[in-house]
Amino acid sequence: MNRRWMILGGTGLSLAAGLGIWTWFSRSKTNDGKLPTPEPTPAQPTPEPAKALPKSEVAKTGPAKSSIREGLIKDPTVRESPEAAIARGTGLAWRKPQLAEVVTPDKWLAVRPLSEPGFAARAGAGVDITDAVLRELVGDKELAPGPVVFAIRGAVSDRPSNPFASGHRLSIVPPDHLNFCCTIGVWDPETKQLSTYAASTVPNRTAIVSSALGVQAANMLLPGVFDYVPGSHSNYKKYGFPFSIIGALRQNGAGGGAGALKVLRATTPMGMQGASVSTTTDDNIHCAETPLLEPYDRFSSEGCMVVAGRYTPQEGHTGPWARFLKDAKFKGRSKVTVILANSTQLPVV
């Protein structure tokens, strides 16, 4: 009896299963009675095996910090008022906390533009930078082989950079220690061609105020013709940035340099007027944005000459600074001639 019911139950289950399969089969047919072609399963990308970074790349990653201040005007030809810079700020803490108590907004605003020697009187006048003009500045001094770097204090172009040409016209402006009021360029004596880049050759306002009050030693290099050496600028590890600015020019380095040069040091937090004459050994040439850029400043300088742009290990060299390095061709050279002149030394056109 039990066996008969088991047989009947098994037969019923088999019929039900068969009916289910037939129903699925009939519903799966297309209108022409054929089975549809199954859609292929999308191929899943095979993950690439993780590669171990070389030691040099590991060092580049560093802490999650940037030398770039948010909110800065990126076009170096745009002039910003000191009041707008204070209002703009950055919302970030000072890189050098000891400056926060000394460089108060009222003192930072009180810094005066560099009116001497004659920048204010000649403001708006034009000067031409040519091979002949630079040879006049160099005089009898022997040039180092390769392109020459020149810096014109208190003269600007209406473009962030200008490619090689036989000459460039600049307009005289008094350096205000905030905006890019100077020009740094590359001169090829062999081809008599020059290129120019937005720059600054004066210390920023934070440096002037803090130097005059004894917190740090800022300065402004006096005009002349010098021999610099290729190298890296500074080491920011003590500020949490494990990199130096590579590709810079050093006043002095392992391969030699210009030695001690005459500079002016601020004696009042209001500016460089009436500054005292001193010497320095550390006025380099590097990009304008560095890890020590403080909240209100547009360029980082305690005395170095700087070209608009920046360097980080992640981004490399950017802005006019990158084009400057390409034209200057420092690689493999033991020294580079550097010319610094005030725009008021040049013939007005």
> Could you tell me what percent of the chain has a pLDDT over 70?
81
- Is 168:198 a contact under the CB 8 Å cutoff? no
- Tokens representing residue 77 in the block: 């030809």
* Per-residue pLDDT at 302: 95
- Give the contacts of 160 (CB within 8 A, at least 6 positions apart): 75, 76, 77, 197, 198, 308, 319, 320
Q: Mean pLDDT, to the nearest integer, of 230-241?
A: 83
Please determine, for residue 201, whether its predicted confidence score (pLDDT) is greater than 90.
Answer: yes
Peptide bond before residue 223 is cis, with ω within 30 degrees of 0:
no
- Tokens representing residue 225 in the block: 């013709």
Please determine, for residue 295, whether its predicted confidence score (pLDDT) is greater than 60.
Answer: yes
* Per-residue pLDDT at 71: 82
- Tokens representing residue 284 in the block: 């380099």
> Could you tell me what percent of the chain has a pLDDT over 90?
66
Q: Mean pLDDT, to the nearest integer, of 250-275?
A: 92
The DSSP line for 176-242 is: -SSS--EEEEEEETTTTEEEEEEEE-S--HHHHHHHHTTSS---EEPSEEEEEEEEEE---GGGT--
**Exposure class string for 214-230: b at 16+ Cβ within 10 A, else e:** ebbbbbbbebebbbbbb
- 66 confidence band (pLDDT: 50, 70, 90): low
* Per-residue pLDDT at 49: 38
* Per-residue pLDDT at 151: 98
Q: Is the pTM above the cut of 0.85?
A: no
Number of H helices, E strands in the chain: 8, 18
Determine phi and psi for 194, rounding to 5 degrees: -135, 145
